[in-house]
Structure 1
């Protein structure tokens, strides 16, 4: 049978209708794309999500904690065991590191190495929706991993407070606060010069070590403490400790932690959306 001829106006109307849903829910289509890719690599995602928390809690909490507990400097932990002190920090540090990877390599891949973002933008998806979809996927992964981590913390007796579940929110805020600026930076790159490795080696790793993760920030020399003050990881870790065992910080300082994390993410996210628009709409 021969095809029924369609006028140009009718064809344009059909195209507009077909594009209406992707234009409206574009971020969720990108999220679905990332989720589909993750399903193919589910084993490489689930093993770290289950194995690393157990490894770190045993090694840092029970192993090293057995040496620190009752020894010199134990009073600096605020009257709690080293396991209780370090567990919420390990939770936020895991979210911090996961966000660093998710907002560096998949974003770089989509723009440069395997430029799928250009294909998405050629479809009825805007650059902002592409960034939002990646943020949505990474947030989902962070929440799932953090919930698993928190359940293990409870099993180890490392979250004595009933408000400890809020540490998952603290981990998410930490991840987004780190991810927003990283996403903006990666979106600004045009040439390959191993920038991703340099960021992980000279920014992510030092922040992990000098953000009060494994020992109180106050024990560091004053000229190094500023690293923690500007680090999203320190602010998120303090929030997680407030939630899991009641660190005792005043309400205004808790508000400062939250505001810092939210503002850092929003600024980085908005810049990333703007840079993505410039790059994809050339």
Structure 2
């Protein structure tokens, strides 16, 4: 009878699985590396979990209280036509605004996590280099970052949607909950090209501040967020046409209150956001590989 080593014998008596060998651990890391890095990314987020939670809860609460008891009341009181809803009906300003606020929250989170967090991973905290020295590949690290971002985006937009329900701003909750995922597309459609760009930067010389001032803010103001895009001057309307925020907002409005829109345009919104997200992810994975190989 073959005698088991002491460690394996102890595991057999306790009914435990034998520990993985180094080769088995490495093989598992190569297969599931992106999920391992995402797990680390989410655990790291626990270090500022109260900031994340207060942002996810406080932002929708302040916006909806301000809009619902302030601006929305004034606009509804002075607007005879209202905003177009499904089947020839009209909706209140708060209902019209809701999907845009959810998509904007995703855009803001994505701009935060794909700028200074990436710079920190390469330069300040160098959190990418330890995993890169393990069996995890550079592409898996980039993908793990994206998976962690998806987790935070779903958390933020999900909480925002709950507040919209509490404020009665979702006339069609049966389909309205899908705006969580259309907002996710906005975050990824904007965030993946930004992630690819951030992965090329070696010094912070104000590039991220410029992104906030000259890209994020114009997208927020001129993407049909507060009023229908066709009411804006032609000189700035093009910003909405190329903005992932506008495409996501329009999808959310279709789902939330049946905003009248041609099905072909709805398909264009989805395809445009998927192309931005997938193309940006491909570039980001390539830039991570180049950067971590150096």
Could you tell me the TM-score, scaled by structure 2's length? 0.88
Asked if 1:274 corresponds to 2:286, the answer is: yes
- Report the counterpart of residue 83 of structure 2 in structure 1: 77
> How many angstroms apart in 1 are the aligned matches of 2:279 and 2:138?
17
**Runs of 4 or more consecutive aligned structure 1 residues displaced over 4 Å after TM superposition:** none
1:191–1:48 distance in 2 versus 1, CA, 3 Å: closer
Structure 2 unaligned segments of length 5 or more: list them: 1-20, 85-89
Q: Aligned-pair distance for 1:15? A: 4.3
User: Number of residue pairs matched?
Assistant: 268
- 1:20 equivalent to 2:27? Answer yes
Q: CA RMSD in A?
A: 1.3
1:118: how far off?
A: 1.6
Does residue 32 (structure 1) correspond to residue 57 (structure 2)? The answer is no
Q: CA deviation at 1:76?
A: 6.0
Q: State the match for 1:50 in structure 2.
A: 57
Give, in angstroms, the shift of residue 62 of structure 1: 3.0
What's 1:3 paired with?
Answer: none
Q: Is the CA contact 1:61–1:86 (under 8 Å) kept in the aligned structure 2?
A: no
Q: Tell me, yes or no, if structure 1 residue 149 matches structure 2 residue 155.
A: no
Q: Distance in 1 between matches of 2:225 and 2:68?
A: 12
Does 2:103 align with 1:92? yes
Report the 3-state secondary structure (helix = DSSP H, G, I; strand = E; otherwise coil) of the residue aligned with 2:118.
helix
Distance (Å, rounded) in 2 between the aligned partners of 1:183 and 1:177: 11
Q: Deviations over 1:220-251 (max 9, x none)?
A: 10121000000000000000111100101111
Contact 1:62–1:83 (Cα < 8 Å) also in 2 = no
Matched, 1:185 2:206: no
Does the 8 Å CA contact 2:34/2:144 hold for their aligned counterparts? Answer: yes
3-state secondary structure, aligned to 1:116: coil
Deviation at 1:280, TM superposition (A): 0.6
* In 2, Cα distance between equivalents of 1:270 and 1:89: 27
* Mapped partners of 2:240, 2:203: distance in 1: 31
In structure 2, distance between residues paired with 1:173 and 1:43 = 25
Q: C-alpha distance in 1, partners of 2:82/2:197?
A: 37
Following TM superposition, by how much is the alpha carbon of 1:192 offset from its aligned partner in structure 2, in angstroms? 2.6
1:104 aligns with 2:111: no
Gaps of 5+ in 1: 1-13
